[in-house]
Structure 1
Amino acid sequence: MITSSPKVLLAALLLVSPLAQAAAPRPIPLLPPEEAAAAEADYQRYCALCHGPDRAGHANDHAPSLKSRSLLSTAFPWLLRESIAYGRPGTPMGGYLDEVGGPMSMAEVRRMMLWLHEKGGSPEPLRLGSDRVAGDVQAGAAVYGQYCASCHGEQGEGITGTALGNPAMLATTPDPFLRHAIEHGRDGTPMEGFAGTLSPTQMDDVTAFLRSRATGWNAEPRPLVPPPALADAVLNPEGEAPAFEFKNGHYITAADLDRILKEKRRFVLLDTRVASMWQLAHIKGSVPIPYYSDREAVVAALPTDGTWIISYCECPRAAADSVNKWLREKGFTNTAVLWEGIGGWVALGYPTTVGRAEP
């Protein structure tokens, strides 16, 4: 339970939107030591796997540095809070807010936001506002192709850089935020500023081009549904045990997983991502057991009769490897990890489903 003081919570509540950023600056509250310690514990539990224990980023999935003063000064408070709470659908960054299936309350999300800002040196927030940046979309497409696509992908899908074509990111990120990053870059990361390389007009054009990539998509609301219980996790209880060959030690290929699903073999399939990602899309029959789950509770609910347990994540293997490791430490020997992850699974043309998995 969060025990933030009324002053801290009130101040955090006021830091909520681009409009608040454009208004008169408000004092940024400091977390009491016990809350800072709790926020750091949450970070290590939920975030360090991808962003690194020291917040330097790129530990897995090209997750960005959370030490960059440039990012913290422009993303704090509202964009940082929204990213933690609701994630980036279409990327490995899931939403951590309990309202979308994650493990954190909004008070815990705000606490994390404040902690990251403090740990980053408490840079003065840049109140960029939310005005539209006017530019030539076609000219911006040409500039993007020449200067940006090699890192961010020809369609903004992200390679070594952020997925700039992600609709969720563009839906919650105002033009001035994008424009500032293009001009000034992100200190402490490979993203250098283009001031001096591109003209102001060219940077405006790229901003307009990126904004245009968010048009035409519709985010259909998906009601949250209760996931299946671990007690019901065994697929095809009357089926035979699966047969497959390991790849690189303890991995199973997407082709083999698809085959044993079609053959209706007996096994357990664990989705080890943050639970909100299971709600968006998952492999049919899987049960969400996030990598940060209570290990004792998971172990107590899983079958101990040698039933195979196969885990997957999106990165493509870090979270699933983590769960697989502690399952083996608890005495489970018939365990495996999906080599390609769900991203590779989808890219190879295998199906996913949303909502409650059918038995």
Structure 2
Amino acid sequence: MDRAAQNYQKYCTLCHGADREGGAADYAPSLKSKSLMSTMPLNFLASSIGFGRPNTAMAPYLADSGGPLSMREIFTLASWLKYKAGHETIELSMDPIEGDLKTGANLFTQKCAECHGKKAEGITAPALANPAFLAFATDAYIKYAIGNGREETEMIAFKKQLSDEQMNDLTAYIRSLTSGWSPEPRELSPYPEPKDYVSNPAGAQPDFSLKQDRYVPMEQVAQALKAKNRMVLLDTRTSSEWHNAHIPGAIPIPYYISEDKVAKGLPKDDTWIIAYCSCPHAASDKVIDMLRKKGYKNTAVIDEGFFNWINAGHPIIGGTPK
């Protein structure tokens, strides 16, 4: 129990909050919510932690995927979360729910798209078209969430607005978004060595214009990379996310690193050190704060974050080259 509590504080508070209240970053859900924690089976919760939610800020924490936790630690953490929530488990049916997809699609546009996105990609609410979510969420789990909402969030209980048949239609539509997913461990890339931390070591110093003495526009960083300017890029997301995809030359310095190790191997001269994350600031702010505390001056955070970097068409790499 003590180890699970320590792991929660180390890896989860950044987004889910120190007291599991949710909303600290990335619209992470409350892990105290009765409707969530009473209906999410232990294996579903553990899988969500272990395999993450692809294409969202929820990274995989399983060691086989490049994360920091063993499967045993993940199940211990999931068990601790269920225990701390203190809600009696509600057994839901495993049977599929049938409904009219066209009606469900219309209802989704009317009731859900504003927060979950037109394509269920997630905006200020979780991505419902996420294959990892749909691989583990049963139809009854989805319908229960629609009907009962999520306490302490903006997700209202739609059973006051929709009939049982309409909730079936909406559930069937969300289920239809399943695109297939398999939690197979990928071949992991070797971590960079300190001699490779500086990108373009012979390059000129970049000229960055910071906002609030901290945030650098991604276009300036992209231009500096194109010009082969000298800098260090820090990927402050989980190490598993770095394995999946990262900006070329970036080294993994995850937000949960200890203060005594954060600067190991980094040059302490006038070289710019630029951090980024998905949030777009929470994880990278934490690492930059630690470095500035140690006297590193030329430090900044990519203002728009990694997802906007991808959407803008800037280069990324990932996996083991073959």
Offset at residue 189 of structure 1 (A): 2.0
Q: 1:149 is matched with which residue: 113, 116, 125?
A: 113
The aligned amino acid for 1:240 is A
1:338 matched to 2:293? The reply is no
For 1:309 and 1:331, locate their aligned partners in 2 and report how far apart those are by CA, in whole Å.
12
> Percent of pairs identical after alignment?
48
Query: Which of 160, 178, 191 does residue 214 from structure 1 map onto?
Result: 178
Partner of 1:92: 57
Instruction: Deviation per CA, 1:78-134: give whole Å up to 9, x if none.
Output: 11101111110110000111111111111111111111111111x222222432111
Matched residue, 2:97: 133
- Distance, in Å, in 2 between the alignment partners of 1:174 and 1:225 is 34
Map of 2:13 onto structure 1: 48
Match of 1:336, SS state, is strand
The corresponding residue for 1:69 is 34
- Separation in structure 1 between the aligned mates of residue 274 and residue 298 of structure 2, nearest angstrom: 9
**In 2: Cα distance, 1:41 partner to 1:227 partner:** 26
Counterpart Cα distance in 1 of 2:318 and 2:235: 13
Map Cα deviations across residues 123-180 of structure 1 (whole Å, 9 max, x no partner): 2222224321111111100111111111211111212221112122112222111111
Alpha-carbon separation, structure 2, partners of 1:355 and 1:248: 35
Return the alpha-carbon distance in structure 2 between the equivalents of residues 212 and 230 of structure 1: 47
Q: 1:276 aligns with which of 236, 240, 244?
A: 240
Q: Distance in 2 between matches of 1:299 and 1:315?
A: 22
Question: RMSD value over aligned CA atoms?
Answer: 1.9
For 1:232-247, what aligned pairs fall within 5 Å after superposition? 232-247=196-211
Alignment of 1:156-235 (within 5 A): 156-215=120-179, 222-235=186-199
- Does the Cα contact within 8 Å between 2:51 and 2:65 map onto a contact in 1? yes
Q: Please identify, of 327-336 and 212-221, the stretch whose mean Cα deviation from structure 2 is larger.
A: 212-221
Using the TM superposition, give the Cα deviation of residue 47 of structure 1 relative to its aligned residue in structure 2, in angstroms. 0.6
Inter-partner Cα distance in structure 1 for 2:73 and 2:185? 25
Give, in whole Å, the separation in 2 of the partners of 1:264 and 1:357: 22
Q: 1:33 maps to which residue?
A: none
- What are structure 1's unaligned runs of at least 5 residues? 1-35
One-letter code of the match for 2:179? T
Distance 2:146 2:56 in 1: 21
Alpha-carbon deviations, 1:187-217, whole Å to 9, x = none?
Answer: 2222122113111111111111011112378
Q: Which runs of 5+ in 2 are unaligned?
A: none
Matched position secondary structure for 1:310: strand
Matched residue SS, 1:243: coil
TM-superposed CA distance for 1:221, in Å, is 7.0
One-letter identity of the residue aligned with 2:253: I
Q: Structure 1 residues 229, 328: CA separation in 2 closer, same or farther (over 3 Å shift)? A: same
Provide the aligned length of Structure 1 versus Structure 2.
Answer: 322
Aligned twin of 1:248: 212
Q: TM-score, normalised on structure 2? A: 0.95
Q: Deviations over 1:201-240 (max 9, x none)?
A: 1111111101111237899974222222344211111111
2:284 maps to which of 300, 317, 320: 320
- Is 1:105 matched up with 2:62? no
Please name the residue that 1:118 is paired with. Answer: 83
Letter of the structure 2 residue corresponding to residue 100 of structure 1: S
